[in-house]
């Protein structure tokens, strides 16, 4: 009988480009492809080591002289919403949630465009057309869901309308929010916060210990909101640790902060399925 072993992932590094979070710095990403029958296992394992998925690629920052970006996750069992977060949940009590297979719709794209034009008109996704949007949603080699939040329409008898959307990966230890967007006209409803709070509840119901929020970047105003979800853990220097006081992470980068890329790759743990006989 002939057996075929999984191909060991090959890791690559992007060329330096301007950092989207901290002015005056350059970013590089370490990445590998997610494909084949073991894509889910690889996504689970690398997510625990600070990686994030984008379509069929999984990556993490590998900047030469900066280590500001840290993967962040909420510890579900210990999470209790703050007073303000409870108000947000109450304010959005009329929303209904539906988790669907990853399939893009015209309604989602229309909301996505309104969100970008209002919040990120000069961002890297500003020119994304409907085909690229569909690829972002649908090109997933792992277990993913599109979580939609509907709200009562503004006009009486108008039914319901899409208020927020989140592309979510289901990991073996949690839910990972890949990308979310919402109706910019509902800014006072704090829909972004509501989506995170609702994912904490979904994870709790499913018995999953974590909700992964992507990267927290101390010193970046657009990432400050993630530190409000306590208890929050960050992946720092090869281990998950409580975030502690956020201000303790704000410091100038040291030139000897990061290991060379080859050493970083050598320290990456892979699923047992990639080992001989796995």
> Cα–Cα distance between 174 and 205 in angstroms, integer?
11
Q: What pLDDT, on the 0 to 100 scale, is given for residue 276?
A: 58
Is the pTM above the cut of 0.85? yes
- Calpha distance 172→133 (Å, rounded): 26
- How far is residue 90 from each of residues 76, 95, 96, 127, 189, measured CA to CA in Å? 20, 10, 13, 35, 10
Cβ neighbors of 19 (< 8 A, separation 6 or more) are: 25, 26, 27, 63, 66
Give the closest residue to 58 by CA, choosing from 274, 268, 278: 268
- Distance (Å, whole) CA 232 – CA 238: 16
Q: How far apart are the first and last CA of the chain?
A: 16
User: What pLDDT is attached to residue 3?
Assistant: 44
* Separation between Cα atoms, residue 146 and residue 46, nearest integer Å: 22
Q: Is 251 left (phi over 0), alpha (psi -120 to 50) or beta?
A: beta
Q: What percent helix, strand, coil does the chain show, rounded to 5? A: 30, 25, 40
Residue 157 to residue 51: CA distance in whole angstroms: 45
pLDDT tens digit at each of 278 positions of the chain: 444 456 789 999 999 999 989 988 899 999 999 999 999 999 999 999 999 999 999 999 998 888 899 999 999 999 999 999 999 999 999 999 999 999 999 999 999 999 999 887 676 787 899 999 999 999 999 999 999 999 998 776 668 899 999 999 999 999 999 999 999 999 999 999 999 999 999 999 999 999 999 999 998 888 999 999 999 999 988 999 999 998 888 766 665 678 889 999 999 999 988 865 55
Reading the block at residue 141, the tokens are 């080699």
How far is residue 112's CA from residue 167's CA, in Å, rounded to a whole number? 12
159 vs 154: CA distance, rounded Å:
9
- What pLDDT does residue 258 have? 80
């Amino acid at each position: 009988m002939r057996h075929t072993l999984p191909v060991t992932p090959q890791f690559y590094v992007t060329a330096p480009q301007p950092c989207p979070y901290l002015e005056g710095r350059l970013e590089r990403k370490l990445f590998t492809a997610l494909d084949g029958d073991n894509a889910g296992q690889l996504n689970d394992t690398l997510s625990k080591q600070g990686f994030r998925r984008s379509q069929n690629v999984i990556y993490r920052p590998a900047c030469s002289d900066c280590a500001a970006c840290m993967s962040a996750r909420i510890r579900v069992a210990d999470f209790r919403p703050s007073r303000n977060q409870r108000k947000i949940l109450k304010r959005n009590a009329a929303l209904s949630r539906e988790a669907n297979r990853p399939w893009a719709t015209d309604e989602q794209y229309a909301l996505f465009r309104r969100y970008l034009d209002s919040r990120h008109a000069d961002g890297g996704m500003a020119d994304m057309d409907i085909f690229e949007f569909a690829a972002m949603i649908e090109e997933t080699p792992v277990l993913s869901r599109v979580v939609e939040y509907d709200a009562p329409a503004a006009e009486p008898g108008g039914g319901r309308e899409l208020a927020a959307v989140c592309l979510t990966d289901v990991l073996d230890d949690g839910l990972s929010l890949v990308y979310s967007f919402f109706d910019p006209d509902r800014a006072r409803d704090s829909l972004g916060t509501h989506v995170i709070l609702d994912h904490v509840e979904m994870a709790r119901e499913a018995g999953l210990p974590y909700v992964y929020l992507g990267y927290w970047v101390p010193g970046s105003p657009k990432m400050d909101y993630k530190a409000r979800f306590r208890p929050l853990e960050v992946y720092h220097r090869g281990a998950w640790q409580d975030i502690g006081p956020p201000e303790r992470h704000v410091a100038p980068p040291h030139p000897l902060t990061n290991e060379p890329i080859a050493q970083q790759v050598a320290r990456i743990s892979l699923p047992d399925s990639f080992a001989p006989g796995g």
